[in-house]
Amino acid sequence: MLLWSAAARSTAWTVLGLLLLLVYGVPLGLILLASLTGQWNGVLPSHMTLSHLAGTLRAEPAAQLRASVLTGLAASLAALAFGTWAALALRRVRGGARRWLELVFFLPSALPSISVGLGLLVAFSRPPLLLNGTVWIVLAAHFVMVSAFAYGMVAAGLAQLPAELEQIAESLGAGPLYRLRRITLPLLAPQLLAAFSLGFALSMGELGATVMVYPPSWVTLPVGIFGLSDRGAVFDAAALTVLLAAGTVAVLAGAARLQRLAGGK
């Protein structure tokens, strides 16, 4: 920031902090508050309870958390692998062809997720590709929704890598796989982690496509939350949301830690 006086800088930070608090903090804080609420008629809850949060420890929410985390991991890891491959493959492609392919990648993210779900439902409801009613169609939906982000992040990271590093490696006798493993991927680690994290977070929160395709055996947390709030169980929905947030943060923190361990040596 181009503010030199200490007073101006602290004012700017305060204003920015308040704005962020308003936009991010207040909704999340209210959800947390609602998850602890027994009754809420006035401006503030009149009665607090831990029973909603305790309810998330029951079998059904736990199964939904498991479905969400597994879906998120599978979809984001698949998206990461595919996005990285696509970014590497398209690196040498220039101009129009590449722009068209990127458009195809990014299009699902521009469409309402419900439409994506509908499309998958129509496409995979008859043989030979009969995925309807299985976990696979949920995974496919999540993959479609998050793969463009993985591709975009890895491609941006690749564009930043000096070409000379790989050329020098090549001149030293490193084959394509060796270069990928020892030079390109290690240098892309921050982008890979970011791509995985964003993909996982998006998948954990994915609702629109999932409601269109999920089988009864694979209810994700957002679907559960939607069901509860639809039935008017707002405080239980809030408690499930807290569970969803906690699960997401736990996985993302674990991934960041893994990377630190791998990179720190």
Footprint on this chain of another protein (rule: CB under 8 A): 162, 164-165, 167-175, 178, 182-183, 186-187, 263
State which residue, 169 or 245, has the beta carbon closest to another protein.
Answer: 169
Complex with another protein: residue 41 or 171, whichever CB lies closer: 171
Quote the tokens at residue 28.
């999340």
The torsion of the CA quartet 84, 85, 91, 92, rounded to 10 degrees, works out to: 170
Least distance in Å: CB of 171 to another protein? 4
* Residues whose CB is less than 8 angstroms from the CB of residue 67 and which lie 6 or more positions away in sequence, other chains included: 218, 219, 220, 221
Name the residue nearer to another protein (CB basis): 7 or 172.
Answer: 172
Rounded to 10°, the helix 185-205/234-264 angle is 170
Distance, CA of 253 to chain centre? 13
User: Helix, strand or coil for residue 48?
Assistant: strand
Q: Residue 162 or 216: which CB sits closer to another protein?
A: 162
Shortest distance (Å) from residue 127 CB to another protein:
47
Do residues 218 and 131 lie in contact, with contact meaning Cβ atoms separated by under 8 Å? Answer: no
d(CA 265, CA 263): 6
For the CB of residue 264, give the shortest distance to another protein in the complex, in Å. Answer: 11
Q: Which is nearer to another protein, 27 or 186 (CB)?
A: 186
CA–CA distance from 115 to each of 125, 140, 142, 213 (Å)? 15, 14, 13, 11
- Specify the amino acid at residue 111: L
Minimum CB–partner distance for residue 23 and another protein (Å): 36
Query: Whole-number minimum distance, CB 188 to another protein, in Å?
Result: 11
Residue closer to another protein, measured from CB, 110 or 172: 172
Q: Which two tokens stand for residue 7?
A: 């007073």
- C-alpha–C-alpha distance, residues 10 and 13, integer Å: 5
Report the nearest approach of another protein to the CB of residue 258 (Å).
17
